[in-house]
Every structure is written in C-alpha cells, then in structure tokens.
Amino acid sequence: MAYIEIKNLSKWYGQVLGISGVTARIEPGVTGLLGPNGAGKSTLLKILTGQIKADTGGATIGGIPVWNHIKLYEIVGFCPDMEKFYERLTGLEFLTYMARLHGMSKSKAMQTARDTLHTMGLDDAVNKRIGAYSKGMRQRVKFAQAIMHDPEVLFLDEPMQGMDPLGRLQTAELIRDYGQRGKTVVVSSHILNEVEDMTNTILVLNHGQLLAEGDVHEIRELIDEQPRHVRITTPERRKLSNILIGFPEVQTISFEDAPDELMVQTMSPDAFYQRLPDLVMKDKITIEQISTLDDNLESVFDYLVK
Amino acid sequence: MNVQARILYPLTALVTTNTKMSLFSRKAFFPGLIASFPLGLVIMFRILWIIWGAPSDDPEATDAFLIYSMLCAMMYMQLIIPLLSLLKGMGTFTEEIEEGTLMFLRLRPAPRSIIIAGKFLSYVITTTVLLIISLWSVYTILSTIPGAGMFLGDLKVLIKDTWVLVLGLVAYGAVMMLIGTYFKHRIMIGVFVLFVWDAWAAYIPGSAHKFTIKYYMQSIFPHQREQTIVESLLTNNPPASMTASIITLLCIALVSIFLTSLAFQFKELSSGQENES
C-alpha cells in the first residue's frame, strides 16, 4: 500500500506563491484536498504527479521521489481539472492509446479501454469522438484515463465538475470503493459537501499553506460555531424583517443595497429554514430568492484563519 | 516491464495514433497545400500545354527532366522541405504543450526518449506521405510530356530524390522540434535558421557552410540550381562526400531528438499554469 510523504514543499511562479512549506503524510484511503480557488491545490497535485518541480522540499509516493521518476506512473493515476483532449479521437481510441503507453499490447489495451469506459458508464460513447462529448462525458473519460491501469495512488483534481447528479453519485461511489480497496486517493475540491460524501479525512489549503488536516467533522463543527448569513430577496422586505426580528434564531437583520434584499444572520440555519416556509404561507409574503452566503469554503477558511 | 512493453507498444501506439491524427485531420491542410504547390504548378503547366501547345520551340525549355530538376532544386529543396519541417516538425512536441495534451503523455511510464521518438517518427511519416504524393505526381505528369520517354524510365532518380528529401525532412524537422521545445520565439528563430542562416551561410567565407543542413543535402542531391557568376565565386565550397553528408544529417537529427527528450524529462512543461488553483 502506497502512502504519500510530503516534506516542506514550496513552489513559486515568479512572484506568485503556489504553495509554501506544506508538510503532510497521506495514508491509504480517500483524502479530500480542500481549498478555495487559488489555494494551491492544483499546484500541490502537479508537484505530486511530477509535472512540476518543487522549489524547496520534496515528496515521495511509496518511497519513490515524485520528480523525474517515470516508474512512478506505473502506480499513479491523475485526473486533471483542465478540459483538454485529443478531440478527434474516440473515447475508445484515446483510452487504448493511453493504455498502450502503459506497456499494454494492442488487444489488452483495447479490452482495458472498453472495460474502463464501461465502468464509467460510457458504453454508448465508445466510438464517438471526444470532441462531440458533453462536459459530463468528458469528465468521465478524463477520470477513465486516470484509473484504467488500476493505480495504487489516484489524484483527482475537481473530478465532479460538470457531472450530472447521477454521474456525481457514481463517481463518488467509485472513489469510495477505491479507498476501501486500500488505494490512496487524493480528491481536490472546493465544495465541502462533495468531499464529505467520500471521506472524513481532509487537508485544507489556503493561500498556498496547509491550514488544517484531519477529520472533516471537526471542520464542520467549526463552521457550525460561526453565524451564517442568509440573503433573502423579497419585494416586502420591511414587512418580512419585522416578522423575522421575533425569531429566536435570528441574531441580526440588515438591509442590503438592493431595494428588495435583506441579510439575516443566524446561529441555527436549519431551524431558520424550517420556520421560513410556514411564515411564507401564513403571512403570504413573497420570497423570490434565498441564498446562504457561508456555505462555501471561503468562509470556512476565513473562520479557520481567525 | 519487458522491452516489448517498455518500448515497442508505446512506440507503435505513438506512431500510429499521431500519424492518424496528423494525416486525417484539418492539421494536414496547410502542410498538404504547401507540399502540393509544385504539383499545382505542373498540372497547370501541362493543361496549358495541352490546350495551347508547347510553350517554346526550344527543346531545352520543354525538356521534362530539366523542368523536374528545376522544381526539385528550387521548390522542394529550398522551400517545401524547410516549410514542412517548420510547420510540422516544430509542432511535433510544442503542439502537445499548446493544446494542453502533453500531460496525458507525461503521466505514462513510457521512456521519455521513446515518446519523443514516436512523435518524431509520426512527423516523418506524415511529411513523407505528403512529399511522395506531390513529388511522384509531379514526376508522373512531367513524364507525359512528349519526348520524355527516357526520363520516365529513370526511376532511380526519383527514388534518390525521395530519400534525400526525406533525409532533409528528418534533419530539418528534428532541429525545428528542438527549437520549438527550447525557445519562446520559436517561429522567428525557426524562420531565421531555415531561410537566413541555412540559405546564406554559404556566402560567409570560411567553414560556416558546414554548419548548415543545406550544405550536406546539396552535396548528395542530384539537382542543383544554376548559380550566377557572383554566386559561384562566393560559394566555391567543395561538396561533402555522400557518406559524410548522410552521417552528418543523421547525427544532427539524433542529437536534436536527444536534446528534445532531455527537455521533456527535465523541464517543467506543464500547460495551463495560468489556471492555477
């Protein structure tokens, strides 16, 4: 079983910081790599897959240094977040090509490609050009090229992006299954819920630094300790605010710049959301839109930094 | 992994897939257009001949072999081969970087030199196919000119021309691939090497001509452009022997391929860094 050892990794792109002093040990199983856009997740994954060289520090996978060791790619699979393909190849041709670069004979490569496309639910698109694939299908074929050689270590950069709900479920299940089989899977994402569906173990990156590592529930608790902001769009904001002020779970109410928006701060969003529909029904108040501003990782990181 | 799995399977996959992608796609349009330029000229020339008769009474002006020889020396040697290598050779590797697909190759356990060799072989096959279609068609059409019977029978010339020009594609293409990999302003440098240095170094006194590909190609190419008196005075360089020319051209190609694989191995060639997250 291969584990990942990261020691004091730093990477700069000229004056721009990629990551700084990241040290971690990733054990077999699924690990979520969380962070907002620009946190350094992709940089870390590119270093760990030997695509770019760290300026300082180093990393090993199963004892193999990650930079400039082609042997590494026998045990590593990588699903990038970019949308680039050999557009004129069919899904089958693309995967067969990739499998042959792994040293498989033509017949074995074709069989492996077919099996992997089947696993990813792309049987119908086997002979269709990738250029004609939908975003979700492209995401699946990208995932397929990462897993087709059954790697010990799998790096997935935003693997669910662009997938439909069913695709997300299937992919999450596949990732969990990989982890349960003793493989090491690192999944990067900026959506906490997405990662929570797959694993409890997370690394949190922000501004290129490792902010936290451990159990996702600890992070969730940290979020729950913070007040949430809910933005409500309604043509009757004065009437609504007068009613909401009486709610025990509402801490503050403020008017936004837009004439039909108000901001509610609450410690118990669940209770607040439960009560809101009754209110709408009872007082016949029109609510056009509700959005929870804190349900993104940016705010979690802000809390963590504080 | 055994040798077959480590070298043969990746190499054949690279050659077949890339050749297919190069030949049967829009990417082949411009190189195809360039390669078929002399063919277009010859077709036009032949049609006009059929409609209006021989362009001149002078038998030399309508000598099929002379026309063919001139096309080889002026068009294929000086224009088509350098342009094909600039367009296709330079893109052999950089195309993968620009299109963001390099990562798919980089994350495979195939030796880097095999990946480069496979891609380069695919370039050679693609450009050779384009060259052969053009050159052999030109030869065939010209051989229909009345009185070109002898020329038609002399296929040895055509075969020699083909392999010398392919050797040119190999040497120029490898150098262009190297330039494409290492330099930011690759097109500018490539144009300079092909159409300034290679074309004019022969006029520099001393041994500068020995550092051009053209010198070795011309040493073994059966067709030469007629030189003016000034040109012949300035470029009185004795040709290299056939063996020396072939070895030098192959060495240029091998060294360039080797240096390109070093870049693939040691340089950070990750695309799309602007989208860091």
pLDDT along chain A (306 residues), means of 10: 87 88 93 88 94 93 90 94 91 97 95 96 93 91 95 93 80 92 92 81 89 77 73 87 86 87 85 79 81 62 62
Tokens of A29: 């199983």
| Number of A–B residue contacts, CB under 8 Å | 109
B46-75 mean pLDDT:
80
Find the CB nearest A88 among B21, B100, B107: B21
Find the CB nearest A13 among B115, B266, B273: B273
Give, in order, the Cα–Cα distances in Å from A253 to each of A240, A241, A268, B227: 10, 7, 14, 90
Percentage of chain B exceeding pLDDT 90:
53
Q: pLDDT, tens digit, for every residue of B223-259?
A: 776 666 666 666 667 888 999 999 999 999 999 999 9
Tell me whether A103 touches chain B (CB under 8 Å). Answer: yes
Find the CB nearest B109 among A73, A88, A89: A73
Torsion of CA B69, B73, B77, B79, to 10 degrees: -110
**Exposed/middle/buried for B207, CB within 10 Å: 0-12, 13-18, 19+?**
exposed
Residue in chain B closest to A101 (alpha carbons) equals B10
Interface test with B, best of A61, A101, A190, A206 (most B CBs within 10 A): A101
Q: Is A162 helix (H, G, I), strand (E, B) or coil?
A: coil
User: Which of A107-121, A201-215, B29-43, B181-195 shows the lowest per-residue confidence on average (mean pLDDT)?
Assistant: A201-215
Rounded distance between C-alpha atoms, residue B158 and residue B142, angstroms: 12
Interface test with A, best of B14, B108, B114 (most A CBs within 10 A): B108
CB A151 within 8 A of CB A76: yes
Question: CA nearest A162: which of A197, A198, A133, A137?
Answer: A137
Are the beta carbons of B271 and A38 separated by less than 8 Å?
no
Chain B residues within 8 A of A52 when measuring between CB atoms: 268, 270
Are the beta carbons of A98 and B271 separated by less than 8 Å?
no
CB A55 within 8 A of CB A12: yes
Stretch 19-58 of chain A: residues touching chain B, C-beta under 8 Å:
37-43, 46, 49-53
Interface test with B, best of A48, A102, A191 (most B CBs within 10 A): A102
Element (H, E) at A272: helix A269-283
Q: What mean pLDDT, rounded, does chain B reach?
A: 87
CB B151 within 8 A of CB B44: no
Rounded distance between C-alpha atoms, residue B93 and residue B121, angstroms: 12
The total number of residues written for chain B in this structure: 277
Give A143's contacts (C-beta < 8 A, 6+ positions apart). A79, A120, A156, A159, A171, A174
Find the CB nearest B100 among A40, A68, A84: A84
* Full-model pTM: 0.81
